[in-house]
Structure 1
Amino acid sequence: MKVILQLLLTVFLISSCSKNDPEPTTPSNVDDDLAGPISRPQSGYGADGKYTVAKVSFPSPLYNGKNVTIFYPKEINSPRPTIFYSHPYGGEESSYNIGLYEFIAKKGYVVVFAPYPTTGVTIDERYSTLWESFKKAVTDYPNIIDTSKVGFMGHSFGGGASFALAHKGFIDEGWGENGRFIFTMAQWYAHQITDEDLQSFPANTKLITQVYDDDVTNDHRLAIDIFKNINISNSEKDFILIKKSVLPTYTYTAEHTLPNTQTAFDAYDYYGIYRLLDALIDYSFNGSAAGKNVALGNGSAEQITMPSYNGQALSPLEVTDNPTPAYAQSKYQFQCSSINNPRIGNCK
């Protein structure tokens, strides 16, 4: 079993990173314009914040030779609400998704990025590496991290891991008493989380689950399972599908690697992900009604509407509280009914 799983993980790494440039383009070394014809928003949710990005690193407690990095707003003089980010397989370097981390810090919040090994360790060891890194960040940097307002965010493997990690943080540590959320993208298998655990999330927990229509890596049923079985009310969670948009000179894709700053850093990052995250933070931590309408609007125009170019609108977001799979499991590399899925009994 372990050999089979390791082979699968290796294949996943190759497929996930096959589009990566040798020197990834990041927001720090490109012009103000994003890839494609649509620029980043200039105001409102999704617009860049006013803060300067600072960072501090420390050695990973369990991953020898790697550092955990905390991105934060340089101008702060008190602890700030914090997001704990769990990356996908192969995303061990913060450059893989640097745009997201910088966006969070520019908005006045903190994000902790913790690398874990892609190969050579078990899934439980990866979870432990993430958790111990987050714990050490909290212990060592109380002047930066405010644990009373906390979000967990992750992509692919990190998306699946975010539920168990959030449960530890919210239940075992009491983090997030003044605001909690989970934001997952293109979720992989969720380990270390039982049905009982899923029914015990605190009442103030919010959830956005995103899947991408062109993803051929992770079966959408994995995300659907957790979304339907977690004890968060429909008014406090939304399941969001992003579809590609084809313009005459540029295609905005909705592949497994959305979001990142290596294959393409474009309007989909800002409007499809950063905008909703920005609004979810505002609602979760500040109680903003406007934030809820954008992040968890249950299909409101403010939530689903994407920008236009020369009169052609990008595909709107598709939002539901009752998601169903649109494709057969055979479309995906990692299928819900695989023996490697600890929640195989929830596949439909």
Structure 2
Amino acid sequence: MPHEHTNPDFHPELLLTILDGVVKQFSPIIDTSRVGYVGHSEGGGLIFYLAKDRPQWGTNGRFLFSLAAWWGFNLPETGNVDYPANTNMIIQMGDPTLDTGTDPRQNIDFLLHNNIPAKRKTYLYLPGDADHPATHRLSYSSTIDIGGQPNPNGIAYYNALQQVGLFRPLESLMRYSFEGDIQWKKIGLPDPGDANYNTMYTLNGITVLSTDDPMGNHDVPLPVEADLDINYLCRQHNNPRWKMCMPCDDTNRDQVWQQCNN
């Protein structure tokens, strides 16, 4: 699924209609019993709607990989969202001081407010560094800047942060969801006791935080609203789930992450 636009007056159900048509037309070669939903920005929010409304897909394996998500359309306005029992999920967030085009609190809503058990979902925070900036472009650009400078030769490549923060967790979701490989679960969906559970760790020189429980157990920065683009604020009433935006309605935002009770 693609990245964002700023027009809230659109019809995401048209995307589902297109997907239905593709599945029907190419049914001999498309195996809908194994399905993975990967989306960035606008697409990062839309995949939750697609997964919810096609529960018959993915009976033999299903996962969600949401990257720097925008709002969640065609979902319940409040409360939890229900998905099939075998759904696995990774919510990924970059550096919120660089990725100001999304509100990280939206990612918290998608993480906490569903029926997916903790052992099947992970919050993946990529702080990046000076040579590997975790910007909004991280998830879709193969010509990402080198050390903050434009790539001089224009040759498409993927840097170390993309390898660690995109391809490795994506492969872990596919391997575990479709093949049941428990060793890959430890990478993308770690359990208590696994080496990279609820802790910062370094892989190929890149610092990553992988956790099942984001509620005050680590220091993932939430920038003040003044530093975010007003068009993408989680609490904007154009966001269908604005009431579920952490810290819930209009309460003080300077508190630990929590599950809203709406």
Q: TM-score when scaled to structure 1?
A: 0.59
Equivalent-residue separation in structure 1 for 2:64 and 2:90 (angstroms): 6
Equivalent-residue separation in structure 1 for 2:63 and 2:77 (angstroms): 19
Does structure 1 conserve the Cα–Cα contact (< 8 Å) formed by 2:128 and 2:161? no
- Between Structure 1 and Structure 2, the one with more strand by share is 1
The SS at the match of 2:70 is coil
Does structure 2 conserve the Cα–Cα contact (< 8 Å) formed by 1:259 and 1:269? yes
Equivalent-residue separation in structure 2 for 1:226 and 1:244 (angstroms): 22
Equivalent position to 1:280, from 173, 195, 214? 173
Does structure 2 conserve the Cα–Cα contact (< 8 Å) formed by 1:243 and 1:254? yes
Is 1:328 aligned with 2:224?
A: yes
**CA gap 1:130/1:307 in 2 versus in 1, 3 angstroms:** same
Report the equivalent of 1:79.
none
Report the equivalent of 1:165.
50
Return the offset for 1:145: 1.1
The SS at the match of 1:194 is coil
Counterpart residue type for residue 10 of structure 2 = I
Is 1:233 aligned with 2:109?
A: no
Return the offset for 1:318: 4.1
- Between Structure 1 and Structure 2, the one with more helix by share is 1
Does structure 2 conserve the Cα–Cα contact (< 8 Å) formed by 1:228 and 1:322? no
The SS at the match of 1:340 is coil
Return the offset for 1:302: 5.6
Report the equivalent of 2:2.
87
Equivalent-residue separation in structure 2 for 1:198 and 1:258 (angstroms): 29
Deviations 1:178-210 (A, max 9, x none): 111111000001011116884421111111000
Equivalent position to 1:339, from 231, 234, 237? 237
The aligned length equals 222
Is 1:220 aligned with 2:104?
A: yes
Question: What pairs with 1:169-188 in structure 2 (closer than 5 Å)?
Answer: 169-170=54-55, 174-188=56-70
Superposed CA RMSD:
2.3
Equivalent position to 1:257, from 137, 147, 153? 137
Equivalent position to 2:203, from 290, 299, 307? 307
Equivalent-residue separation in structure 2 for 1:341 and 1:169 (angstroms): 22
Report the equivalent of 2:208.
316
Which stretches in structure 2 are left out of the alignment for 5+ residues? 145-157, 248-262
Deviations 1:47-96 (A, max 9, x none): xxxxxxxxxxxxxxxxxxxxxxxxxxxxxxxxxxxxxxx1113xxxxxxx
Equivalent-residue separation in structure 2 for 1:331 and 1:318 (angstroms): 25
Does structure 2 conserve the Cα–Cα contact (< 8 Å) formed by 1:215 and 1:256? yes
Does structure 2 conserve the Cα–Cα contact (< 8 Å) formed by 1:239 and 1:323? no
Return the offset for 1:131: 1.1
Is 1:201 aligned with 2:95?
A: no
Give the 4+ runs in structure 1 shifted more than 6 A: none
Equivalent-residue separation in structure 1 for 2:36 and 2:210 (angstroms): 23
The SS at the match of 2:207 is coil
Does structure 1 conserve the Cα–Cα contact (< 8 Å) formed by 2:124 and 2:208? no
Counterpart residue type for residue 301 of structure 1 = A
Equivalent position to 2:35, from 143, 150, 173? 150
Does structure 1 conserve the Cα–Cα contact (< 8 Å) formed by 2:161 and 2:206? no
Equivalent position to 1:140, from 14, 21, 25? 25
Equivalent-residue separation in structure 2 for 1:302 and 1:321 (angstroms): 13
Does structure 1 conserve the Cα–Cα contact (< 8 Å) formed by 2:121 and 2:212? no
Return the offset for 1:164: 0.6
Does structure 2 conserve the Cα–Cα contact (< 8 Å) formed by 1:163 and 1:190? yes
Counterpart residue type for residue 89 of structure 2 = L
Question: What pairs with 1:60-71 in structure 2 (closer than 5 Å)?
Answer: none
Counterpart residue type for residue 140 of structure 1 = Q
Return the offset for 1:166: 0.9
Which stretches in structure 1 are left out of the alignment for 5+ residues? 1-85, 90-117
Does structure 1 conserve the Cα–Cα contact (< 8 Å) formed by 2:92 and 2:125? yes
Q: Percent identity?
A: 31
Report the equivalent of 2:161.
268
Q: TM-score when scaled to structure 2?
A: 0.77
Does structure 2 conserve the Cα–Cα contact (< 8 Å) formed by 1:187 and 1:218? yes
**CA gap 1:262/1:234 in 2 versus in 1, 3 angstroms:** same
Report the equivalent of 1:60.
none
Question: What pairs with 1:70-149 in structure 2 (closer than 5 Å)?
Answer: 86-89=1-4, 122-124=9-11, 127-149=12-34
Larger Rg: 1
Equivalent-residue separation in structure 2 for 1:307 and 1:202 (angstroms): 32
Does structure 2 conserve the Cα–Cα contact (< 8 Å) formed by 1:282 and 1:291? yes
Equivalent-residue separation in structure 1 for 2:188 and 2:212 (angstroms): 13
